[in-house]
Structure 1
């Protein structure tokens, strides 16, 4: 249950933080001189590899008995 909660929170937050970092740094955020674009790619890849937050929310709901 703790794993599902962590993935729901961290999966969304990591992608959001990386997207904001790219926006914050503007054009340099998508160049090879600054690694912000790499963090965004890794966050998106991790979100896919470890399961989308929506899938973990469904699994978590099943674990606590809130199936619809």
Structure 2
């Protein structure tokens, strides 16, 4: 049985998370795949999808402009 992580360890993780930079959408290039991921998606799908791989492609297509 593994010991539970200490509260101090959790605080360190939270400090690290809060120190991460926030992406400024005004500086992103939406003509790239990385930049397009920050655009609003117009298609959402269930997490219970069987995994055929089509729904992520449709989601990405709705984000492209």
Whether TM exceeds 0.5 here: the answer is no
**Greater length-normalized contact order (CA 8 Å, ≥ 6 residues apart):** 1
